[in-house]
Amino acid sequence: MTDHEALADSYQTLRRDLHRHPEPAWCEFYTTTRLIAELESRAVDEVRYGPDIHVPDTRRNVPDSETLAEWRERARAAGASEDVLAELGEGFTGAVAVVDRGEGPTVALRVDIDALPIREADDDTHQPAAAGFRSTNEGYMHACGHDAHATIGMGVLDRLLDSEFEGRFVLIFQPAEETIAGGKSIAASDVLDGVDALLAAHIGLDHPSGEIVAGIDGFLAVRQFRAAFSGESAHAGARPEAGDNAVQSMAAAIQNLYAIPRHSAGATRVNTGRVGGGTATNIVPESAFLDGEVRGETTALMEYMWEHAERVLDGAATMYDCGIDVDLLGDAPSARSDRTLAGVVADVARNTVGVDRVFDRDTLGGSEDATYLMNRVDETGGRAAYVGVGTDHPGGHHTPTFDVRESDIRVAIDVLAGAASAVFAGRVDDG
């Protein structure tokens, strides 16, 4: 067994352990403690976690205490460190490692770590099931590759620790990306202070193994919300007039949210992806909710949608004399990859074994809260690029049969570590 293969084995072990323990947003207790243990076994200068890397008020959509407690308990049962768990408190998950090698650029890498509420496939054509590392948290699954992302982060760290460079390397394991709820909090903290170049990465995205997208653009700015309508119930046969019908308000809102006018300045989106209300056929429903989102090709377009959506929600509540409560669940701005930094990534990728094809840019079409971090770095004079790493994934993202080709983790490590090294070597300023 070569050194390289041994290394690869340890990454496979890590990835599969994380895959076995998928945890939803803000509940990544096991994942965080596991990653911290890894970091503490390495020669990093600083490992940060807990409230220290967050700004509490900017955390969105944190589950209630009961849910957090339940996941903490699962993590404990899976062997999570009690001391670390205590620090993570009420969902202050995620971790940051810093390697400080004196004067030179500061390069950051951001990977995300949370999983999805999807039941993983259990038949033998699904590799994690066949190879024995299927989710042990039934109903939850790493169906978007964040287990691979965390592993890639650890691999890049190792590669840099083994290399010569001058400057600072900041590795960020971000929680709560799936609910676009964690990026804002990390971006608001001091974690990104002084970062000159930020790399973020995602595996798959409909690119097969061998393809690299050097700098993804086209992140749709997004805002997700819950609108809760509250009226009055009444017997639908005996006293229909006594009710204030929250479901009628909800339906009027749905119809008119989708009907918000399109915008000539670019793409917009709206969806009411989850709705519900009422208790029984014969009761005028006193409560109803809709979980919705608006998006825009730019943040301004998303705000245009949001302003209109607020009017629709207000109007719908007014119509049926219902109260309305709108909670923001998560949001993310739009962002663009810096073309110079992306150029460096592309150059590195073209010289990486296992890469067949390099795209300078591609469009995401979805949303990502890495954009909070990218914009923060951009605003303070740094550069950010969001790198796509192709992988042959059998099922689509967010489906029960999603999986990654594990050898692509190594490709990702090579490209990202190479790009970081190039920045340390001053290649961005040459570009």
Per CB under 8 A, does 314 bind its own copies? yes
Q: Which of 4, 82, 83, 261 binds its own copies (CB under 8 A)?
A: 261
End-to-end CA distance of the chain: give it in Å, rounded. Answer: 39
- Binding segment for its own copies (CB under 8 A), chosen from 9-17, 130-138, 268-276, 372-380, is 268-276
Per CB under 8 A, does 159 bind its own copies? no
Per CB under 8 A, does 60 bind its own copies? no
Kindly state the smallest distance separating residue 370's Cβ from its own copies, in Å.
Answer: 15
- Dist. CA 201–CA 363, nearest whole Å: 14
Q: Which of 267, 303, 354, 406 binds its own copies (CB under 8 A)?
A: 267
- Residue 91's alpha-carbon distances to 31, 145, 147, 153, 328, in angstroms, are 12, 21, 19, 21, 18
Which CB sits closer to its own copies, 317 or 355? 317
Kindly state the smallest distance separating residue 248's Cβ from its own copies, in Å.
Answer: 6
- Binding segment for its own copies (CB under 8 A), chosen from 123-131, 148-156, 192-200, 265-273, is 265-273
Q: Give strand pairing partners of 97.
A: 47, 171
- Which DSSP string do the residues of 193-223 spell out, in sequence order? TT-SEEEEEEE-TTPPTTEEEEEEE-PPEEE
Angle at 392 between CA 389 and CA 394, to 5 degrees: 135
SS3 135: coil
Which CB sits closer to its own copies, 369 or 414? 369
- Binding segment for its own copies (CB under 8 A), chosen from 9-17, 134-142, 239-247, 376-384, is 239-247
Give, as ranges, the residues between 93 and 132 that touch its own copies (CB under 8 A): 117
- Binding segment for its own copies (CB under 8 A), chosen from 28-36, 74-82, 103-111, 255-263, is 255-263
Kindly state the smallest distance separating residue 21's Cβ from its own copies, in Å.
Answer: 21
Per CB under 8 A, does 334 bind its own copies? no
Q: Which of 42, 239, 350, 357 binds its own copies (CB under 8 A)?
A: 239
Q: Which of 80, 213, 214, 316 binds its own copies (CB under 8 A)?
A: 316
Q: Which of 79, 139, 240, 323 binds its own copies (CB under 8 A)?
A: 240
- Dist. CA 216–CA 220, nearest whole Å: 12
- Dist. CA 346–CA 427, nearest whole Å: 12
Per CB under 8 A, does 4 bind its own copies? no
Which CB sits closer to its own copies, 78 or 220? 220
Using CB atoms within 10 Å of the CB of residue 385, give its burial: 0 to 12 exposed, 13 to 18 middle, 19+ buried: buried
Q: Give strand pairing partners of 252.
A: none
- Dist. CA 358–CA 46, nearest whole Å: 34
- Residue 94's alpha-carbon distances to 47, 49, 111, 161, in angstroms, are 11, 6, 10, 21
Kindly state the smallest distance separating residue 361's Cβ from its own copies, in Å.
Answer: 16
Q: Which of 80, 144, 152, 250 binds its own copies (CB under 8 A)?
A: 250
Q: Which of 51, 208, 365, 400 binds its own copies (CB under 8 A)?
A: 365
Binding-site string for its own copies from residue 272 to residue 291, where x marks contact by CB under 8 A and - marks none: xxxxxxxxxxxxxx--x--x
Give, as ranges, the residues between 367 and 396 that touch its own copies (CB under 8 A): 367
Region of residue 261 (left: phi > 0; alpha: psi -120 to 50; beta: else): beta
- Binding segment for its own copies (CB under 8 A), chosen from 7-15, 70-78, 262-270, 413-421, is 262-270
Long-range contacts of 233-242 (CB under 8 A, 24+ apart): 233/279, 233/283, 233/284, 233/285, 233/286, 234/283, 234/284, 235/282, 235/283, 235/284, 236/281, 236/282, 236/283, 236/284, 237/282, 240/284, 242/284
- Dist. CA 22–CA 173, nearest whole Å: 15
Lookup result for tokens 């050097």 = 214
- Binding segment for its own copies (CB under 8 A), chosen from 2-10, 252-260, 350-358, 387-395, is 252-260
Per CB under 8 A, does 329 bind its own copies? yes
